[in-house]
């Protein structure tokens, strides 16, 4: 179990700041196996990620691991609604990723976690989701500053100021324990390919 928990930590190492160029062509992609589907390994993943309560864009309480991660293929990024830098590019990319995955019959959940919970209320996030025409299965998450910070710390997304957030994109499947990380400004086709082939033998 120690090995599994150590690999979780390795998988969620921060890639870099959000100031990375939006057109970055060769993002760092790391593939890390962090467990499997045994009860003990799932319990270890739940312990690591935690069940901190967050609120989605509809104001519904969501427990982080049980409601949003458990036995799902997920994409996780960090953003805030007043961002004028990488966030609009990331949102547009992920809209296209969601369309591509739907066309391919691929089931995946997208989690966008705000780094500005004091200003990004559920109502604000709902407007943001509507602005980009986010489809079903995409959760825009906020909560108390303490709860959001707790989740961000576990994912390597904690920052001092919202503008310092990373453009990192985590792609994982908690039913297999496989995780990949890249940047959310990568081309939608590349991201969709990573999602679809996440569990391919290497």
How far, in Å, CA of 194 to CA of 64, rounded? 23
The two tokens of residue 166 are: 């990373």
How far, in Å, CA of 116 to CA of 159, rounded? 10
Reported residue count of the chain is 202
State yes or no: 64 annotated in a binding site.
no
Alpha helices (runs of H) in the chain, residue ranges in sequence order: 2-11, 39-49, 86-103, 122-131, 145-155, 188-196
**Residue whose token pair is 């996440």:** 198
Nearest to 54 by CA among 168, 155, 162, 174: 155
Question: What DSSP element (H or E) covers 66?
Answer: none
The two tokens of residue 168 are: 């990192």
How far, in Å, CA of 134 to CA of 136, rounded? 7
Cα angle 163, 165, 166 (rounded to 5 degrees) comes to 140
Q: Which residues contact 98 (CB under 8 A, 6 or more apart)?
A: 108, 110, 134, 135, 137, 138
State yes or no: 80 annotated in a binding site.
no
Q: Which residues are annotated as a binding site for Cu cation?
A: 83, 87
Q: Which residues are annotated as a binding site?
A: 83, 87
């Amino acid at each position: 179990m120690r090995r599994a928990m150590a690999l979780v930590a390795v998988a969620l190492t921060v890639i870099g700041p959000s100031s990375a160029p939006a057109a970055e062509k060769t993002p760092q992609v790391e593939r890390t196996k962090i467990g499997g589907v045994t009860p003990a390994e799932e319990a270890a993943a739940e312990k690591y990620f935690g069940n901190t309560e967050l609120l989605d864009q509809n104001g519904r309480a969501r427990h982080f691991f049980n409601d949003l991660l458990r036995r799902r293929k997920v994409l996780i990024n960090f953003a805030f609604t007043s961002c004028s830098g990488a966030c609009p590019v990331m949102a547009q990319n992920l809209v296209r990723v969601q369309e591509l995955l739907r066309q391919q019959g691929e089931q995946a959940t997208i989690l966008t976690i705000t780094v500005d919970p004091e200003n990004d209320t559920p109502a604000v996030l709902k407007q943001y989701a509507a602005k980009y025409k986010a489809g079903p299965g995409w959760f825009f998450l906020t909560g108390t500053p303490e709860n959001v910070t707790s989740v961000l710390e576990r994912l390597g997304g904690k920052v001092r100021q919202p503008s310092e957030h990373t453009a990192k994109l985590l792609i994982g499947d908690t039913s297999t324990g496989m995780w990949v990380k890249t940047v959310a400004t990568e081309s939608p086709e590349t991201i969709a390919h990573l999602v679809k082939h996440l569990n391919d033998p290497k």
